[in-house]
Amino acid sequence: MSNDITVRQATARDISELADIAERTFPLACPADTSSKDIQDYIQQSLSEVAFGDHMSSAETDFYLAGVGEGAAVGYSMLVDGSSGGPAGMGEDLVELRRIYVVAEAHGKGVGAALLERAEKRARGLGRSGIWLGTNQANHRAISFYRKHGFQQVGTRTFEVGKSVEQDFVMTKQLG
């Protein structure tokens, strides 16, 4: 059995799988003090099959699924061109990497890097000079991952998870 990582663009047929991965992975990105209710409320509102369907119907949004070998998908990313809320003063030449999540069993296997590489390729294809994202300030694993891949912190923002208001770092990467 091969351990090669494959990344492909997700389609409407993948909505159920995207929602399943999101439900399994989003809690991993939340601080320990975020309540289970707030996490479940966010998942129901923003990571449901209906929410994925709404996002997928937008021409500005691309989803990618990643798998290892011939198994089921173990991660996904969401890239949004033309999103608002990006870093002030950075212009409108950046695309937002809104989500990049990998199931815990696949951490450290290069899945996140493969998803990021595909996002960067798409951003270049859109003529964008860079990527921006927000990640929770307590998500040290994600922060380390992004720094390892050339992202720099350029600011902060708040992010609502249910009724909880979380603090994010805003990070950018310029593409060569």
Indicate the SS3 state at residue 130: strand
Residue reference for tokens 């289970």:
36
- 93 compared with 59, residue with greater pLDDT: 59
The CATH number linked to 93 is 3.40.630.30
Domain count, the chain: 1
136 within 8 A of 158, measured Cβ to Cβ? no
The angle formed by the CA atoms of residues 42, 136 and 158, to the nearest 5 degrees, is: 70
- The distance of Cα 69 from the centroid of its chain, to the nearest Å, equals 22
pLDDT of 1 strictly over 50: no
pLDDT score of 82: 79
- The pLDDT tens digits of the residues spanning 26-72 come to 999 999 999 999 999 999 999 999 999 999 999 999 999 999 988 88
pLDDT score of 149: 98
- 146 compared with 71, residue with greater pLDDT: 146
pLDDT exceeding 70 applies to what percent of the chain? 93
Q: Which two tokens stand for residue 126?
A: 């859109």
Provide the residue range defining the domain that includes 158: 5-174
pLDDT of 133 strictly over 70: yes
